[in-house]
Amino acid sequence: MSAGTPPNTWLRFQPSDGRASLRLFCFPYAGGSATAFHGWKRGLPEWVEVCPVHLPGRGPRASESPYTELLPLAEAAADALAPHLDKPYALFGHSMGATIAFEVARRLRRSGAAAPAHLFASACRAPQLNEFRARTFDMPHGELIRALRRLNGTPQAVLESDEMMQFFAPLIRADLQLIQTYVCRPEPPLGCPVTAFGGLQDPEETPERLAAWREQTAAAFEMVMYEGGHFFIHARSSLLLESIGRCLARAGVAEQRML
């Protein structure tokens, strides 16, 4: 765990030039980093400020130990985001990142912070279904590699290199432990709209599991499916960003930049 980490290590975005009226905080998938959102600014309206969240154990925080429990991570991330909620904001997460974003939203609500304009949950089953996940984080090394191959998200060059897998395996196992041991505590539904994105060929996160996000919002819910597997976030990024932009525009955030 990384208790005591200064909040500014979580966010390294540059202040916008004044055109942005909303911040989109983005949480990566297991084993991933903020680089997953490289280039997103070009695919979103100019009034959206993309703010990747840097989790411990990767990127500029590679020297820090990754979390192995989701709730403490979400609490620390929410505390780090809190000073940057001076304008409307939305939360996006892919796979593991979606559950983190959900718990960040709940932590911020408990602290009395403004609610997000939208929560985007990508390639992730509804949190109340998490207890039914298979456990892979403590698999023997060879079985873990086979499990990662099935998801088709880890580069082949990494999977085929013993040296690289020895380097990345501890982070991947920590992230998998974090999500596979998470239990969703009962709380009222969120007050913001929720959109669930999924891949039609994803063997893990089926439309039924995605649709269950409807239970976690008292506002509007939408589910959007794309061609592709668990990591459609890369192959269908342009379509995904168009959907995000449309959802945020419907929320009326775009007009606020004119005030």
Q: Is residue 258 part of a domain?
A: no
Q: Is residue 56 part of a domain?
A: yes
Q: Is residue 256 part of a domain?
A: no
Supply the pLDDT for residue 132. 74
- pLDDT class of 7 with cuts at 50, 70, 90: very low
Residue with tokens 């980093």: 33
- Indicate if 65 belongs to the active site: no
Q: One of 16, 21, 33, 95 is an active-site residue; which one?
A: 95
Dmax over Cα atoms in the chain, in whole Å? 57
Is pLDDT of 48 > 90?
A: yes
Q: Is residue 2 part of a domain?
A: no
Q: Is residue 244 part of a domain?
A: yes
Q: Is residue 1 part of a domain?
A: no
Count Cβ atoms within 10 A of the Cβ of residue 227 and give its class: 0-12 exposed, 13-18 middle, 19 or more buried: exposed
Q: Is residue 100 part of a domain?
A: yes
How many domains are there within the chain? 1
- Tell me the pLDDT tens digit for each residue of 165-220: 776 788 888 999 999 999 999 999 999 999 999 999 998 899 999 999 999 999 99
CA gap 243, 134 in Å, rounded: 31
- Tell me the pLDDT tens digit for each residue of 51-66: 999 999 998 999 999 9
CB 228 within 8 A of CB 235: yes
State which residues form the domain around 241: 7-251
Provide the CATH number for the domain around residue 232: 3.40.50.1820
Supply the pLDDT for residue 44. 96
CA gap 225, 205 in Å, rounded: 11
Q: Say what the pTM is.
A: 0.89
**Neighbour tally for 217: CB within 10 Å:** 17
Q: Is residue 223 part of a domain?
A: yes
Supply the pLDDT for residue 143. 74
